[in-house]
Amino acid sequence: MKKLDLKEWAAVAEIVGTVAVIVSLLIVSNNIRQNTKAVQATNDTVLYEMTDSWYADVAVNPELAELMIRYEAGEQLTDSEHRQISYHISRTLNQWELAFVRFEQGLFPPKQWESWNHSFEVWLPDVYRQQDWENDKETYYEGFAAHVDAIYLDH
């Protein structure tokens, strides 16, 4: 077997180094995919917990349920009732906005976004008066506000 000279050892070292870089990149890529999945799972958990909390408020509080029914029917509410219902609805709008922003950032899978967004699109026009949205929309992210405006236009 022939002994390698310095140039040949350098070539072998370069090949070994290249293989090591490729293996390192594969490991980093795998870690990034795992981290992305972990972030998506965390986002999902937060959104589901927010939704569950919102539903639970109505489910365990008959006064709030009655207030929602009166608001949706267009009945006149006292100032404090209107404030209460506005805050309650804002909680849902806040979670929808969070989902919207996460989707824009690529942290919410498109199929999952479509499902979440559809449920909000169906809910919104029947529950939240457009005039109330017009009064509140300046407090939301501009892109999200435009998204909600489009839903009212289509309804």
pLDDT in tens, 37-73: 887 778 778 888 888 888 888 889 999 999 999 999 9
Per the domain annotation, does 129 fall within a domain? yes
CA dihedral 55, 63, 132, 136 (to 10 degrees): -60
Summarize the confidence of residues 76-101 as an average pLDDT.
92
Task: Provide the pLDDT for residue 1.
Answer: 66
CB proximity list for 60: less than 8 A, separation 6 or greater? none
Q: What is the mean pLDDT of the chain?
A: 89
pTM of this prediction exceeds 0.75: no
Task: Provide the pLDDT for residue 27.
Answer: 93
Per the domain annotation, does 124 fall within a domain? yes
Per the domain annotation, does 76 fall within a domain? yes
The domain in which residue 128 lies consists of: 40-154
Domains in the chain: how many in total? 1
Q: 28 — phi, psi (to 5°)?
A: -65, -45
Report pLDDT digits (tens) over 64-75: 999 999 999 999
Summarize the confidence of residues 85-112 as an average pLDDT.
90
Residue 9 has pLDDT above 90, yes or no: no
Per the domain annotation, does 11 fall within a domain? no
* Count of C-beta atoms within a 10 Å radius of residue 124: 19
For 109, left (φ over 0), alpha (ψ -120 to 50), or beta?
Answer: beta
Lookup: tokens for 31: 């870690």
| CA dist., res. 60 & res. 91, Å (int) | 17
First to last CA, the chain: 82
Per the domain annotation, does 144 fall within a domain? yes
Per the domain annotation, does 140 fall within a domain? yes
88-91 CB contacts, 8 Å cutoff, 24+ apart: 88/54, 88/57, 88/64, 89/127, 89/128, 89/132, 90/136, 91/50, 91/53, 91/54
